[in-house]
Amino acid sequence: MSVFSVDITGSPLDLAALTQGFPRSPEDTGAVTSFTGFVRGEGISALALEHYPGMTERSILETVKSAARRWPVQAVQVVHRVGELAPGEPIVWLAVGSAHRAAAFNACEFVMDYLKVSAPLWKRERDSAGSWQWVEAKSADEDRAKRWIRGATA
C-alpha cells in the first residue's frame, strides 16, 4: 500500500509529530529517510514564500509519484511552509519510506531537488535594511536536478 501526501502550510512545522506520524509498515518498511530544510540567516532577516493553492500541491504530488515510479517506495510525505519565516525556522520536511535504504535515499533526494528548483513556490528575502528581493534557484541546485533528467538513479 502506497501513501503519498503533500501539505503546504502557513503553520510552524512540528518535526517530532511529523516524524512520529509518518506511515510505515512493521512488516515491509526497512528504511525511512527524512530531510528537514531550515531558513538560513545569511544576510537576511526573513524569507517569504508564496504559492498558488492547488497547483503547488498537484505539482509536488506528481513529482512524488514520479519518484515512486523510479524507486520502490511505500510512503512519501512532503510538508512545506509558506508565508514569512525567520532564520532558523524549518521550511520543509520530507520523508520517504521503503523496504531498503537506497530507494529511500534516492527518492528523498530526487523530490528535494525538484522542490529546490522547479516547485511552484516563489521566494523573497528581506535584507537587514528591510528591502525585499526575489530569490532565484542557484545554478548548483539546477545542476544537481539535471542529473535526474539524464536518468541517474543515484
**In this predicted model, what pLDDT tens digit does every residue of 59-96 receive, in sequence order?**
999 999 999 999 999 999 999 999 999 999 999 999 99
152 domain-assigned:
no
**141 has pLDDT over 80:** no
The predicted-structure confidence for 99-133, as pLDDT tens digits, reads as follows 999 999 999 999 999 999 889 999 999 998 999 99
108 domain-assigned:
yes
Q: All 3 cell numbers of residue 61?
A: 504530488
Q: Which residues pair with 132 in a beta bridge?
A: 126
99 domain-assigned:
yes
Q: Name residue, grid cell 511552509.
A: 81
**145 has pLDDT over 80:** no
150 domain-assigned:
no
User: How many domains are there within the chain?
Assistant: 1
70 domain-assigned:
yes
Range of the domain at 34: 3-22+30-145
**152 has pLDDT over 60:** no
Q: Residue 134: give its domain's CATH number.
A: 3.90.1170.40
Q: All 3 cell numbers of residue 13?
A: 512545522
